[in-house]
Structure 1
Amino acid sequence: MKINFSFKQFFPSKWRIKLPVMLAAVVMMGITLSVLIEIGWGTDPATFMNYHVAALLGTEDIGFIQIMDYAVLLIFVILFGAQHIGFGSIANMCLIGFVCDFSRWIWNLTGFHQFLAAASMGVLIPIFAATLLLFVISAAVYMNSELGIAPYDAIPTIISASAKKMPFFAIRIIFDYSAIAIGLLAAFFARNNIVNPVASFAGIGLKTNIFGSACMSLLLGPLISVVGNWMRKVMPVFQNEEAAQK
Structure 2
Amino acid sequence: MKKIKIMYSLIGTILIASAVTFFRLASLGTDPYTTFNLGFSMLFNMDFGIFLMYSSLLMLIYVYFVNRALIGIGTLFNIFLVGNLSDVFVSLITNMFGTFEGLFIRIIISVVGILFLSMGAALYIEAKEGVAPYDAMPIILSEKSGLSYRLSRVIIDVSITIIGFSLGAGLGVNTIITAFFLGPFIQFFREIFYKDLNTKELRYSAKE
Q: Among 27, 38, 56, which residue is 1:70 paired with?
A: 56
Aligned to 2:77: 91
Which structure has greater helix proportion? 2
CA distance in 1, matches of 2:58, 2:110: 31
CA contact (8 A) 1:176 1:217 kept: yes
Q: Does 1:180 align with 2:166?
A: no
Which moved further from structure 2: 71-80 or 132-141? 132-141
CA distance in 2, matches of 1:94, 1:185: 26
Q: Among 176, 185, 204, which residue is 1:214 paired with?
A: 176
Q: Aligned with 2:167: secondary structure? A: helix
Q: Does 1:231 align with 2:185?
A: no
CA contact (8 A) 1:45 1:217 kept: yes
RMSD, matched Cα: 2.1
CA distance in 2, matches of 1:238, 1:170: 30
Q: 1:86 to 1:162 in 2, by over 3 A?
A: same
Letter in 2 for 1:123: I
CA deviation map 1:119-160 (0-9, x unaligned): 2x2332223222321232222212211101111111222222
Of the two, which has the highest radius of gyration?
1
Q: Among 87, 94, 102, which residue is 2:88 paired with?
A: 102
CA deviation map 1:89-124 (0-9, x unaligned): 11111110000001111012112x32x1x22x2332
Aligned to 1:20: 7
TM-score, structure 1 normalization: 0.75
CA distance in 1, matches of 2:19, 2:120: 9
CA contact (8 A) 2:19 2:112 kept: no
Q: 1:130 to 1:91 in 2, by over 3 A?
A: same
CA contact (8 A) 1:26 1:95 kept: yes
Q: Aligned with 1:42: secondary structure? A: coil
TM-score, structure 2 normalization: 0.88
Task: Give structure 2 stretches of 5+ with no counterpart.
Answer: none
Letter in 2 for 1:33: V
Q: List 4+ stretches of structure 1 deviating above 3 A.
A: 234-239
Task: Give structure 1 stretches of 5+ with no counterpart.
Answer: 1-13, 195-208
Q: Among 126, 129, 137, which residue is 2:108 paired with?
A: 126
CA distance in 2, matches of 1:211, 1:126: 13
How much does 1:231 deviate? 2.1
CA distance in 2, matches of 1:128, 1:51: 17
CA distance in 2, matches of 1:179, 1:38: 21
* Identity across matched positions, percent: 24
CA distance in 1, matches of 2:153, 2:141: 9
CA distance in 2, matches of 1:159, 1:221: 13
How much does 1:235 deviate? 4.6
Q: Among 8, 14, 17, which residue is 1:30 paired with?
A: 17
Q: How many aligned residue pairs are there?
A: 204
How much does 1:238 deviate? 6.4
CA distance in 2, matches of 1:226, 1:238: 19
CA contact (8 A) 1:36 1:128 kept: yes
